[in-house]
């Protein structure tokens, strides 16, 4: 029987690589496209090494409609997972047009070509950032979205709306938006993981770089929030669990099991974890001590957000299983691999 084929845009990135590995493990063919704006060929090689499959790769910018069209002409996929996007919140505030252009033009190109070529299933990587500072926690998919506080966040909301409207208007197009909480960790092989350029903005890469001696000291942004230990609460989801959620969502689309043409799922663990708990968990999991200090709050941080995952659990038959301690071990294994630390 012919295998289902999935196009993965941004497939050389952090979540794209892990998702490709899980798709191949589940029996799909995958075509990766990436423009390497925030990734490297090494990541694709890592995927090939883990899977033992010479996964097809095309260096293509999804904003380049003509180049993307050639990918549609060359490969016979019926589903796309669209990861290719910029994701630095601060940079998006400084350079809004760069973000709107890249994140929206690329997605509209994908949607338009899916329609033109009669391909059916579009999976979009959205974010819990759409919930902003929610009044009721945990957040469900029904929790109202809050006005975005950055152009980055706005591109996630706008792309969700573009997908919703395309699914409503165009016969044969169906979509799922997965709203990720905080993806962390790496593949247990330590051959793929997150590779931030410059100073990491996210907590776990900052922690692992501090442990590796690249950063002197982790700054914890505020311990005077109205939370049990005063630091912010987040829902940290293992990237392999997150990757498996994509496999479940693609399966739902290809099995024709969707209940409407456009669906949204929260993808998290359902467990709130504080910054301090995460830091201490990292120390314990890896038997090391981390240099950290408490500093002022970071502008724009919400005090707490975590997922109600019942819908994904029930409808996708998926749940996050990897214990946090193991996830934090893989984060450190990956950092050591990248830095050549024994
Ligand atoms: N954080 C921190 N120090 C850092 C980076 C992040 O204390 O160097 C905190 C941040 O204030 C937030 C949590 O870690 O409470 C998660 O931040 P991250 O940027 O990883 O994800 P976000 O939830 O903001 O998207």
Q: Which residues contact 152 (CB under 8 A, 6 or more apart)?
A: 86, 87, 88, 89, 91, 92, 99, 103, 129
Structural element, H or E, at residue 238: strand 236-238
Length of the chain in residues, anyone?
342
Residue 136's CB: how many other CB atoms inside 10 A?
9
Q: Give the Cα separation of 284 and 300 in Å (integer).
A: 30
Sign of the CA dihedral 304, 309, 311, 315?
positive
Q: Which residues contact 299 (CB under 8 A, 6 or more apart)?
A: none
- Report pLDDT for 189: 98
Name the DSSP letter for residue 315. Answer: I
Hey, whose CA ends up nearest to atom 6 of ligand 1?
Answer: 203
The verdict on whether 170 is a catalytic residue reads no
- Compute CA distances 37 → 59, 62, 89, 175, 210, whole Å: 10, 11, 16, 26, 25
CB 270 within 8 A of CB 235: yes
Main-chain dihedrals φ then ψ at residue 237, nearest 5 degrees = -110, 130
In the block, tokens 């024994």 appear at: 342
Hey, whose CA ends up nearest to atom 14 of ligand 1?
Answer: 203
- Report pLDDT for 240: 98
Q: What is the pTM of this model?
A: 0.98
Tokens of 165: 């409207």
In the block, tokens 């490969």 appear at: 75
Say how many Å lie between the CA of residue 326 and the centre of ligand 1: 20
Q: Which residues contact 142 (CB under 8 A, 6 or more apart)?
A: none
3-state SS class at 81:
strand
Tell me the average confidence (pLDDT) per consecutive run of 10 residues in the chain, 342 residues long: 93 98 98 97 98 98 98 98 96 97 98 98 98 96 96 98 98 97 98 95 98 98 98 98 98 97 98 98 98 96 97 98 98 97 88
- Report pLDDT for 1: 72
- Compute CA distances 53 → 21, 27, 32, 158, whole Å: 10, 11, 12, 35
User: For residue 293, what are the β-bridge partners?
Assistant: 219
Render 174-194 in DSSP notation, one character per residue: EEEEEEE-EEE---TTSSS--
Say how many Å lie between the CA of residue 150 and the centre of ligand 1: 16
CB 181 within 8 A of CB 305: yes
- Report pLDDT for 342: 83
Q: Give the Cα separation of 340 and 28 in Å (integer).
A: 33
Say how many Å lie between the CA of residue 102 and the centre of ligand 1: 24
User: One of 28, 152, 180, 206 is an active-site residue; which one?
Assistant: 152
Name the DSSP letter for residue 226. Answer: S
- Report pLDDT for 2: 81
- Closest atom of ligand 1 to 127 CA is 25
- Closest atom of ligand 1 to 278 CA is 14
């Amino acid at each position: 029987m012919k295998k289902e084929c999935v196009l993965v845009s941004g497939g050389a990135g952090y979540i794209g690589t892990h998702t490709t590995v899980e798709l191949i493990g589940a029996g799909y063919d995958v075509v990766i496209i990436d423009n390497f704006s925030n990734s490297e060929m090494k990541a694709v090689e890592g995927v090939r090494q883990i899977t033992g499959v010479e996964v097809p790769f095309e260096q293509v910018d999804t904003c380049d409609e003509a180049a993307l069209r050639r990918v549609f002409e060359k490969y016979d996929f019926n589903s796309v997972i669209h990861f290719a996007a910029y994701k630095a919140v601060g940079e998006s505030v400084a350079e809004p047009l760069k973000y709107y252009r890249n994140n929206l033009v690329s997605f509209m190109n994908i949607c338009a070509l899916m329609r033109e070529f009669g391909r059916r299933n579009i999976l979009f990587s959205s974010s819990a950032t759409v919930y902003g500072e929610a009044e009721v926690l945990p957040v469900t998919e029904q929790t109202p979205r809050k006005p975005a506080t950055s152009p980055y966040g706005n591109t996630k909301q706008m792309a969700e709306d573009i997908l919703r409207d395309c699914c409503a208007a165009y016969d044969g197009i169906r979509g799922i938006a997965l709203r990720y909480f905080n993806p962390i960790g790496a593949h247990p092989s330590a051959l793929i993981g997150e590779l931030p350029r410059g100073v990491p903005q996210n907590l776990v890469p900052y922690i692992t770089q501090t442990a590796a001696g690249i950063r002197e000291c982790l700054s914890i942004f505020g311990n005077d929030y109205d939370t049990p230990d005063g630091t912010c609460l987040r829902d940290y989801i293992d990237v392999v669990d997150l990757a498996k959620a994509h496999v479940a969502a693609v399966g739902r689309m290809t099995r024709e099991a969707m209940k409407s043409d456009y669906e949204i799922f929260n993808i998290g663990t359902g467990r709130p974890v504080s910054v301090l708990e995460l830091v201490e968990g990292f120390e314990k999991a890896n038997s090391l001590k981390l240099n950290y200090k408490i500093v002022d709050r970071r502008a724009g941080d919400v005090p707490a957000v975590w997922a109600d995952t019942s819908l994904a659990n029930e409808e996708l038959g998926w749940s996050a299983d990897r214990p946090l301690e193991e996830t934090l071990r893989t984060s450190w294994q990956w950092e050591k691999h990248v830095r050549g630390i024994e």
